[in-house]
Amino acid sequence: MPTVLALSVWACCGLAVGALIALAVQRREQASPREQLLQVAATGAIFVALAWRHGTGLDVWAAAGYAAAAAPLAAVDLRTGRLPNWLMLLAYVLTVAGLLMATLADLRAGGLLAALVGAIMFAALYGAWYVFLPGHMGGGDLKLSLVSGAVLGWQGWPAAASPHVLTAGLQLLAWLAGALMLIWLLQAAVYMVARAVRGRPATVALRHGPFLVLGTVTALLLVP
């Protein structure tokens, strides 16, 4: 269990990173002060939750890199219905940097392979959704799915660790499928509640980006 001091350091890191990104979002996307404050608070909370769940070692930076851009992406999508390319690029850069740092710290080359498998699996499923059900998902969701799958694959690999490669691979695929199910169930639940309360789906319930972020972060916290 991480110490209070360690968690405090991670909270400060999350708040600092969140504040820097929030300033960039305010300049480029005209975010309100309230939205900025919520982004910063959410980023700090995610950092603390990741550290509490998985420890404070450098290997957690794989998930932290993704988490740094997660709250801003979800907030902008909720407000505007789009995922800006510049913010998506930042998510890719931070996640890849976190993956490389975590891999070097933990010497888990298998984790990078698992990240690649996760990215391919998510890209294939979301790509099929994008192509065969046009209008149901935006290009930004497809781009976000790749980085979400990558970080889920890396973080899920320790749970799939096995002396048998085939068994480990099957466990990893099962874990990724479970994470996908969680993402879609979260959106389906909000959609059904919105229909029951308002008689029609709320706009936010039709935007997939926030649920992709929420489901990914939740899965990162649930993985053993």
Contact 168, 162 (CB under 8 A): yes
Please state the pTM of the whole predicted model: 0.90
Predicted confidence at residue 108, as pLDDT, reads: 67
Predicted confidence at residue 44, as pLDDT, reads: 93
Q: What is the mean pLDDT of each run of 10 residues along the chain (224 residues)?
A: 83 92 88 87 93 79 88 89 91 91 74 90 92 80 94 80 70 91 91 74 74 94 82
Predicted confidence at residue 162, as pLDDT, reads: 56
Predicted confidence at residue 204, as pLDDT, reads: 65
CA distances from 82 to 62, 77, 116, 141 (A): 25, 5, 26, 9
